[in-house]
Amino acid sequence: MSLVHRVARGVAALVIFVAAGAFAQGQPPIRIGSTLALTGPLAATSLVHKVVGEIYVEQLNRRGGLLGRPVEWIVRDDQSKPDLARTLYEQLITVDKVDLLMGPYATGAILSAMGVAQRYNKVLVHHTFGIPAQAKYDMQFPAWSLGPTPEVSVPNTVFDALAASPAPPKTIAVVTSKFPSVHFMSLGARDVAKKRGLNEVLFLEWDFGNLDYGPIAARIKDANPDFLWVGAIGLEGNQLLEAMSKIGYTPKEHFYMYPAPGPMSKSALARNALSMTVFEEHPPFTSAPGAKEFIELYHARAAKAGIPDTAVEVQAAASYTAWQILEAGVRGAGSLDDKAIGAWLHTHPVDTIQGKLRFDGPHNYGDDLMRVKQVQDGHWVTVYPAAYAAPGATLRVQ
Amino acid sequence: MTLPSATLVAQSALSGLFIGGLYGLMGLGLGLSWGLLHVINLAHFALAFLAAYLCYQLASVGGMDPFATLALIVPLCFAFGVALQWLLSRFDLSPLNSLLATFGLTAIVEAGIQGVWTADFRKLETPYAALHWQVGTLYVPAAELVTLAAAVGLSFAVYAAMRFTDLGRALRALAEDAPIASAFGIDARRHALVLSGVCGALAGIAGVCLALSFTLTPSQMYAWIGVVFATVMLGGLGSPLGPLAAGIVIGVSEALTSAFVSPSWAPIVSFTLLIALLLARPGRA
Amino acid sequence: MGARVYVAIVVAALALAALPWLRLPAFYASLLYLVLHWAVLATSWNILSGYSGYISFGHGAFYGTGVYATAVLAGTFDVPFLWTLPVAALAAAILGLALGAVVFRVRSVRGEAFALVTLAVTFVVATIVANTPIDGGPGVYLSSVPVPSLAPTVPGTFYLLALALATASVLAARAIADAKLGLGLFAIHDDEDAAEVMGVPTYRYKLAAFGIGCALAGAAGGVHALFVSYVTTAGTFNVTLPLTVILMCVLGGTRHWAGPMIGAAVITLLLYATTAADHAIVGKALTGAILVAAVLFMPHGILGRRRDTPAMRVAGASNVAAPSPLAEPSFAAPSPRASGAPLLALRGVTKSFKGVRALDGVDLDVREGEIVGVIGPNGSGKSTLINVVSGHFAADGGRIQFRGDDIAHRTPHRIARAGIARTYQVPRPFAGLSVADNVTLPAMFGAAGLDRADATAAAQEWLAFTGLAARARLRPGALNLHETKFLELARALASAPRLLMLDEVLSGLAPPEIDGAVALIERIRAQGTTIVLVEHVMRVVTALSDRVIVLDQGRVLAQGPAAAVMARDDVARAYFGAAGA
């Protein structure tokens, strides 16, 4: 970076600082509290949420904060333990007395936080809660836009995409981890596949934490389905792909729910692998207001934080969306009153980088905005439905 | 329900054999230090993961051949083992206390790895990953075969060293009766340092094998503890060949359960088998 | 003095129970809940594993059984939450007792084998839960289960429940430590076989401790299921739970009833103190470093016993010399003088080890009041004889009658209670107990069957009798060989046996010490105790024995008065073997 650039940046930062100081004069900051699993087994994804939250709060303050007050984000590390998350949310509410809450990461912690929020009548916006039926609190608002019955709607989207492809599958194998948010989707996929007349040639479950994918791969190879549905959280998808490759098997068409996005798109074995998305770095998503700026900032910050894959995809986008929802709610209600924010969000759709989200359906879930994406040439690109597909991209088959 | 094909069963058993070899390799150093030094070294797992990350760093970023990284990693891990024993031997620790002290050490190493490489997934991409041979209808992947070969080779090397070298004989004498052995002029302290270094080096080699086949994330080190502990205790503490045999029994029995029934039932077979073996074995306390 | 501790615990618990009404932020109740929750888990683990040394890696299985009992009953079947807690405790206790009933019978499943079995059980239970309708994979939700209102706030309710359980756990831990059960468990920790031979019903004691510990862990699991409101197998059954619990106990001190509680408080608060997001990774490393330092510098824990202080060692050493018996113990066995009636009768007793016949059809009688010397070359079966009579090894065949009852298939502790005591050739004192407690134990568990107070008094007298009174507060490790041998004798005598079997009690002693020992044995007999004397020192055998039995290759070769037996050619041949032939 040239000296001129540096000086320019320094001046800009100073101006922002002074401006922030001016509008904040005498105004105590609005404090938003949340926990994230910064250490422990869930730490890989939580880091994404931390980077996004920092970016958003910074942007928010640059825009003048909320209700004319600066915003301060208090994050604590729940160490991937739901019981700790619960206690920390209680601390945030009853001791730190934060004004607003933001959700933690992963199903267990979100449920813990939801219970606390319910007891204190606080609004809870959360990023990635995948089991709508279990979100039983009236003032929780999901940023994960998969509709009230994703176990039906998501598989249908996938099978629609396949049906529209040059080689619609006739047989299906469903293999799935017993990780809760993945497992119920896989069971849903079985039902949907049956209703749509696909012939199930294999169904397998393994425990979360399984180390040997060899036998699973061998059974898939043995069954050789037209379409392989893999319910796999994080690394599991890659491990299964590697195990299949080691016995010389390449699945014909394969779908993963929810993969570790970076490692999968980078893996040569994942050619044509399918998954779900709410946001990718290509039009039409990038034309959403604020999306381009966010992508640029995220690339820089993620690299600085040491995240190997800096592309904005579902986790980062869902995180950003959650902040957008909270901001919209506060602005809409014109106050920090949780009841008012909740009431406003119930009745007003929010424009986010994923699209328009509404919270008037069952369990406050609105439309299923999940699209189908595919690994093509080392990148994830949306391929279905056509309106959201990357320019020129279509579903490829082997 | 139809019976699985012979190819499927054989391929699954092979997979179980490979993962069992890795269990054995991870367990080898752990069991030696437990049986001969009375140190239950939980940090063995942390060291293996540290070695795996180093291998990733040197090979992925530094462009070294993954096997060449051994030249750096093994001495480093040896030194780590020596330093650990040097520290622990200054205190009068029961085996249980050594477990807890090294548990603390594991947390430090885990935090260190996360500090340097973040908690995000890291995968070493090497040409070896795709390399495999076809034997009839069976596929034999290279990386796994190397791991198994390393496990078998090292287990037998340790076995031979224990039987046929002065160092090995001295170590066995020390483990059996330290005061008598010391009376015969065996330097217990020095030998313990060397053995701990060897265990560290074994962890390092296991780590490189991990990096060849697995995607890494710091907390994943805990996923191995349960099954490798089982391997070591079943195989016999301080036994050079026991962990390998026990690892293969566990790996193959789980793989066959996965092939015949379901992967989600796999642990019940191996662990029930393990309980049965323990209850049935006579007088080996 | 003992009662005061219980009162203090209850008063403290009642005082703490007022906390939810103090209008503090609810968070404090929640944080204290976590502390108390871990205190219950740690204390419940410690009752078996800390006291008896049976390190369990399976605490997650019992805790998890409680978690799922409550989760299924309250979450799926709408049973009121509080009613599920006794079920959670019971289910966990049943699992523990069933496991213990199998495992504790097998002598080889000790040490790391026990740790492995319990670890394996965790995986087995987890797999069953994950693959059956108990969970099936998706986890169990308790979000809609009503929380009973025991306190003004929900966290207050959980806090009170955990407080009640923690109080129960600590009271149980303390009561057990004070009771016979505790002393028995401590002895099992140091030397289980010796404890059994001294009358400790080791099987029942281990089972009782396991059952109590599992029940408490199960109840804690039940409460925690609702606290987290969403339970999964991966989150419930993992290796970190037992590791954390062990860490807490060792840090606090496993021999002390309050140790686990202290350890739980320290670790829980330490983990909580490192939740600031900006320093999460540094905090984790720091937690690890503190653990390492704590274990290295406090190996016995915060409340761990201190080593014997130099002052105590000097105090004991000033009074060594030869044993100087002070008084005739008043608790001596109430045996009559030599009556000639058969006390012990063996008929055709056999015992083999891996095909080698150690005892090959032994017939012998020991009459009330006599001293029988048993001699024979090495490997002739002398020690096996003692081991078989005391029940340490079961005889393969034949009958062993003691006072008319067949004891061949009785467990060692029942044989001890019937009135047989033994010493070990290589002394096996309980290293973790004081010299006084080493002697108190057989007085409580042996034939004497005294209560704690009487046993303590009796132990004092036997220590005086053997000249060890000044050593009472030391641990056996501080004694020399000669004193250790006498401790071995004092222990055997304290049980007030009808029959005392001495296994080479004189070996390794210097001649003046032997004379002292011979005098002691004379005085033991004078009190009416029948003695079987296995001995190598021939002049002692000759001096003491009314009768001598010669064993050779597991058979009785000769018996009769010492002089007559020793004169026989076949005895000489057996002794001097090839050299004499």
Q: How far apart are CA C334 and CA C496, in angstroms?
A: 8
Query: Is residue A120 in a domain?
Result: yes
Asked whether the beta carbons of residue A305 and residue B213 sit closer than 8 angstroms, the reply is no
Q: How far apart are CA A50 and CA A65, in angstroms?
A: 19
Please report residues of A whose CB lies closer than 8 A to that of C25. Answer: 90-91, 94-95
Domain boundaries, chain B: 6-280
Q: What is the largest CA-CA distance in chain B?
A: 66
- Nearest CB partner across the interface for A75, out of C144, C229, C277: C277
Please report residues of B whose CB lies closer than 8 A to that of C120. Answer: 230, 271-272, 274-275, 278
Asked whether the beta carbons of residue C137 and residue A115 sit closer than 8 angstroms, the reply is no
**Chain mean pLDDT for chain C:** 88
Q: How confident is the model at residue C234 (pLDDT cuts 50, 70, 90)?
A: confident
Q: How confident is the model at residue A16 (pLDDT cuts 50, 70, 90)?
A: low
Asked whether the beta carbons of residue B120 and residue A209 sit closer than 8 angstroms, the reply is no
Closest CA in chain B for residue A206:
B264
Residue C1 reports pLDDT greater than 60: no
* B-C contacts (CB, under 8 Å): 139
Distances (CA, A) of C171 to A165, B176, C11, C31, C107: 69, 42, 12, 22, 31
Average pLDDT over residues C560-567: 85
CA distance B53 to chain A (A): 14
pLDDT recorded at residue C325 = 45
- Return the HEC string of C316-374: HHCCCCCCCCCCCCCCCCCCCCCCCCEEEEEEEEEEEECCEEEEEEEEEEEECCCEEEE
Average pLDDT over residues C168-193: 95
Q: How confident is the model at residue C315 (pLDDT cuts 50, 70, 90)?
A: very low
Please report residues of B whose CB lies closer than 8 A to that of C238. Answer: 222
- Nearest CB partner across the interface for A136, out of C143, C228, C232: C143
Which amino acid is located at B93 in the chain?
L
Between residues A272 and C571, which one has the greater pLDDT?
A272
Sign of CA dihedral C292, C297, C299, C301: negative
Residue C445 reports pLDDT greater than 80: yes
The tens digit of pLDDT for each residue in A357-382 reads 999 999 999 999 999 999 999 899 99
Assess C17–B contact: CB distance below 8 Å, yes or no: no
Query: Is residue A395 in a domain?
Result: no
SS3 assignment, position C23: coil
Residue C541 reports pLDDT greater than 90: no
What is the DSSP secondary structure assignment for residue B216, as one 8-state letter? B
Residues 107-166 of A with CB under 8 A from B: none
- Nearest CB partner across the interface for A207, out of B11, B14, B267: B267
CA distance B162 to chain A (A): 31
pLDDT recorded at residue C47 = 96
Between residues C224 and B182, which one has the greater pLDDT?
C224
Whether residue A9 is found in the same domain as residue A131: yes
Average pLDDT over residues B7-21: 94
Closest CA in chain B for residue C271:
B107
Distances (CA, A) of A106 to A49, A180, A233, B120, C459: 11, 11, 11, 15, 61
User: Among C204, C172, C166, C222, which residue's Cα sits nearest to residue C47?
Assistant: C172
Between residues A180 and B150, which one has the greater pLDDT?
B150
SS3 assignment, position A316: helix
Answer whether C471's CB lies under 8 Å from C435's CB.
yes
Q: How would you list the strands of the sheet with A171-177, edge to edge?
A: A199-206, A171-177, A227-234, A253-259, A274-277, A371-376, A379-384
Q: How far apart are CA C45 and CA C68, in angstroms?
A: 19
pLDDT recorded at residue C300 = 86
Assess A214–B contact: CB distance below 8 Å, yes or no: yes
Please report residues of B whose CB lies closer than 8 A to that of A245. Answer: 129-130
Residue C327 reports pLDDT greater than 60: no
Assess A186–B contact: CB distance below 8 Å, yes or no: no
Query: Is residue A396 in a domain?
Result: no
Mutate to test the interface with A, among B215, B216, B271 (most CBs of A within 10 A): B215
Closest CA in chain C for residue B42:
C243
Asked whether the beta carbons of residue A76 and residue C276 sit closer than 8 angstroms, the reply is yes
Q: What CATH code is assigned to B6-280? A: 1.10.3470
Asked whether the beta carbons of residue C31 and residue A87 sit closer than 8 angstroms, the reply is yes
pLDDT recorded at residue A211 = 87
| pLDDT > 70 fraction of chain C, expressed in percent and rounded | 92
pLDDT recorded at residue C314 = 44
Asked whether the beta carbons of residue B119 and residue A267 sit closer than 8 angstroms, the reply is no
Asked whether the beta carbons of residue B4 and residue A204 sit closer than 8 angstroms, the reply is no
What totals of helices (H) and strands (E) does chain C contain, helices first?
Answer: 23, 12
How many domains is chain A partitioned into structurally? 2
User: Among C188, C178, C190, C110, which residue's Cα sits nearest to residue C476?
Assistant: C190
pLDDT recorded at residue B274 = 86
Average pLDDT over residues A168-174: 96
Average pLDDT over residues A179-194: 93
The tens digit of pLDDT for each residue in B210-244 reads 999 888 999 889 989 989 998 998 898 889 999 99
Asked whether the beta carbons of residue C143 and residue A180 sit closer than 8 angstroms, the reply is no
Residues 59-88 of A with CB under 8 A from B: 80
Between residues B17 and A106, which one has the greater pLDDT?
B17
User: Among C389, C497, C30, C88, which residue's Cα sits nearest to residue C227?
Assistant: C30
Contacting residues for B97 by C-beta, under 8 A, at least 6 apart: C250, C295, C299
Q: Which domains does chain C have, with CATH numbers?
A: 27-291 (1.10.3470), 342-580 (3.40.50.300)
Q: Tokens 């029994």 correspond to what residue?
A: B249
The tens digit of pLDDT for each residue in C252-281 reads 999 899 999 999 999 999 989 888 877 888
pLDDT recorded at residue B178 = 75
- Nearest CB partner across the interface for C111, out of B104, B271, B285: B285
Average pLDDT over residues A274-280: 94
Please report residues of A whose CB lies closer than 8 A to that of B121. Answer: 44, 234-235, 238, 260, 262-263, 308
Average pLDDT over residues C331-343: 59
SS3 assignment, position A205: strand
Q: How confident is the model at residue C443 (pLDDT cuts 50, 70, 90)?
A: very high
pTM (two decimals)? 0.91
Asked whether the beta carbons of residue A215 and residue B255 sit closer than 8 angstroms, the reply is yes
Please report residues of C whose CB lies closer than 8 A to that of A179. Answer: 234
The tens digit of pLDDT for each residue in C351-361 reads 998 888 889 99
Closest CA in chain C for residue B97:
C295
Whether residue A376 is found in the same domain as residue A238: yes
CA distance C212 to chain A (A): 25
Q: How far apart are CA C277 and CA A57, in angstroms?
A: 16
Highest mean pLDDT (candidates B72-81, B130-139, C406-415, C443-452): B72-81
What is the DSSP secondary structure assignment for residue B135, as one 8-state letter? E
Answer whether C547's CB lies under 8 Å from C573's CB.
no
Count Cβ atoms below 10 Å from residue A385 Cβ, excluding itself: 13
User: Among C64, C256, C92, C94, which residue's Cα sits nearest to residue C170?
Assistant: C256
Q: Which of A2-16, A326-340, C21-35, C221-235 comes out lowest in average pLDDT? A: A2-16
pLDDT recorded at residue A216 = 95
CA distance A346 to chain C (A): 22
SS3 assignment, position C398: strand
Q: Where in the sequence is the domain holding A84, given as residue range(s)?
A: 3-148+283-364
- Nearest CB partner across the interface for C234, out of A78, A119, A209: A209
Residues 117-176 of C with CB under 8 A from B: 117, 119-124, 126-128, 130-131, 137
Query: What crossing angle do the helices spanning A82-94 and C259-273 adopt, rounded to 10°?
Result: 70
Q: How confident is the model at residue C324 (pLDDT cuts 50, 70, 90)?
A: very low
Between residues C298 and A142, which one has the greater pLDDT?
A142
Q: Which residues pair with C499 in a beta bridge?
A: C420, C530
Count Cβ atoms below 10 Å from residue C423 Cβ, excluding itself: 23
What is the DSSP secondary structure assignment for residue A348, as one 8-state letter? S
Residue B20 reports pLDDT greater than 90: yes
Q: Which of C85-99, C110-124, C294-308 comes out lowest in average pLDDT? A: C294-308
Whether residue A377 is found in the same domain as residue A330: no
Average pLDDT over residues B244-250: 95
Whether residue A143 is found in the same domain as residue A43: yes
Please report residues of A whose CB lies closer than 8 A to that of C272. Answer: 84, 87
Please report residues of A whose CB lies closer than 8 A to that of C130. Answer: 178, 207
Residue C85 reports pLDDT greater than 70: yes
Assess A16–B contact: CB distance below 8 Å, yes or no: no
Residue C313 reports pLDDT greater than 70: no
Q: How confident is the model at residue B282 (pLDDT cuts 50, 70, 90)?
A: low
The tens digit of pLDDT for each residue in A242-265 reads 899 889 899 999 999 988 888 888
Residue C472 reports pLDDT greater than 70: yes
pLDDT recorded at residue C310 = 44
Residue C323 reports pLDDT greater than 50: no
Within its chain, how far is the Cα of C439 from the centroid? 15
Average pLDDT over residues C3-10: 93
Average pLDDT over residues B178-204: 86
Assess C113–B contact: CB distance below 8 Å, yes or no: yes
Whether residue A247 is found in the same domain as residue A383: yes
Q: Which residues pair with C422 in a beta bridge?
A: C501
Contacting residues for C139 by C-beta, under 8 A, at least 6 apart: A107, A180, C230, C231, C232, C233
Residue C331 reports pLDDT greater than 60: no
pLDDT recorded at residue C577 = 61
Q: Which of B96-105, B185-194, C411-420, C433-442 comes out lowest in average pLDDT? A: B185-194
Residue A310 reports pLDDT greater than 70: yes
Q: Tokens 């003691």 correspond to what residue?
A: C402
Mutate to test the interface with B, among C255, C295, C305 (most CBs of B within 10 A): C295
Query: Is residue A79 in a domain?
Result: yes
Asked whether the beta carbons of residue B123 and residue A267 sit closer than 8 angstroms, the reply is yes
CA distance C248 to chain B (A): 10
pLDDT recorded at residue C312 = 45
Backbone angles phi, psi at A168, to 5 degrees: -65, 135
Please report residues of A whose CB lies closer than 8 A to that of B141. Answer: 246-247
Q: How far apart are CA C97 and CA C233, in angstroms?
A: 22
Give the A-side interface with C, CB within 8 Å. Answer: 35-36, 38-39, 50, 75-79, 82-84, 86-88, 90-91, 93-95, 107-108, 111-112, 114-115, 119, 131, 134, 136, 178-180, 183-184, 205, 207-209
Distances (CA, A) of C360 to C363, C547, C555: 9, 21, 5
| pLDDT > 90 fraction of chain C, expressed in percent and rounded | 63
Sign of CA dihedral A144, A148, A154, A155: positive
Q: Number of C-alpha atoms within 13 angstroms, CB side, residue C203?
A: 13
Assess C109–B contact: CB distance below 8 Å, yes or no: yes
What is the DSSP secondary structure assignment for residue B59, as one 8-state letter? I
Answer whether A98's CB lies under 8 Å from A92's CB.
yes
Q: Which subunits count as partners of chain C given 3+ CB pairs below 8 Å?
A: A, B
pLDDT recorded at residue A8 = 55
Q: CA angle, A94 as apex, A90 and A97 as ends, to 5°?
A: 115
Query: Is residue A241 in a domain?
Result: yes
Residue B147 reports pLDDT greater than 60: yes
Sign of CA dihedral A58, A64, A70, A71: negative
Beta-strand pair B138-141/C140-141: unpaired
User: Among C119, C142, C139, C125, which residue's Cα sits nearest to residue C223?
Assistant: C142
